[in-house]
A and B are shown apart, each in its own frame.
Chain A
Amino acid sequence: GQNIDQPTEMTATEGAIVQINCTYQTSGFNGLFWYQQHAGEAPTFLSYNVLDGLEEKGRFSSFLSRSKGYSYLLLKELQMKDSASYLCAVETGGSYIPTFGRGTSLIVHP
């Protein structure tokens, strides 16, 4: 089966940097997604990593190590609007059906 682990909740201060980790044990690997979901809203796409390394996109960066089954999402210069749930999803095998973790609820306080 597929197993994806993320911390349940994290808190951080406005203006700071936070790293949200995701570890996975899956049968096969095509790529890893990060999504942001504000309460009561649809998840929105943040990043997609296929190869090892860091991909930077503005204040958000995502890192992948396939050999370690590990990824992280790095958020810099945190803003209050970054308070949301962050979902890690792994796409596996020929089915290309992403399996989602339970999400990490990030609370940014002043």
Chain B
Amino acid sequence: GAGVSQSPSNKVTEKGKDVELRCDPISGHTALYWYRQSLGQGLEFLIYFQGNSAPDKSGLPSDRFSAERTGGSVSTLTIQRTQQEDSAVYLCASSPKTGDGYTFGSGTRLTVV
């Protein structure tokens, strides 16, 4: 597509439930990143996919967080047993190749109640 698409744009969930967030990167972009942005905080790196290489999961805050990227395109970030501190905007970005400019999606605002 023309830009990075994320869905849903807003998600309210009950504490303890699992959620799935979707990112559809720009066609042909091989690099895909997930970030988290809490109110008043900077962007916190979560996970990075580059082509068919093993993802860099060094930013995932706990084992409740996981992500996959199927066919080198769409990515899904899954948060299991959500906690209130998971409430944040989850941003996805893609780039044509490592080290190139990054285009962000509009994010998913997750609220855990």
Contacts and interface: CB of A to CB of B under 8 A. Distances in A.
Interface size grouping (class) on chain B: 20 to 34
A33 B40 CA distance: 20
9 contacts: A4-B42, A31-B99, A33-B102, A41-B106, A45-B102, A87-B43, A97-B59, A101-B42, A102-B41
B91 A30 contact: no
Interface of A: 4, 30-31, 33, 35, 41-45, 48, 87, 89, 91, 95-103
A102 B45 contact: no
Nearest to A31: B99
B38 to A, nearest CB: 10
Interface in B40-60: 40-43, 45, 48, 56, 59
Contacts of B76: none
Given A42-B91, A102-B41, 6 more contacts: A33-B101, A42-B104, A48-B101, A95-B56, A97-B56, A99-B45
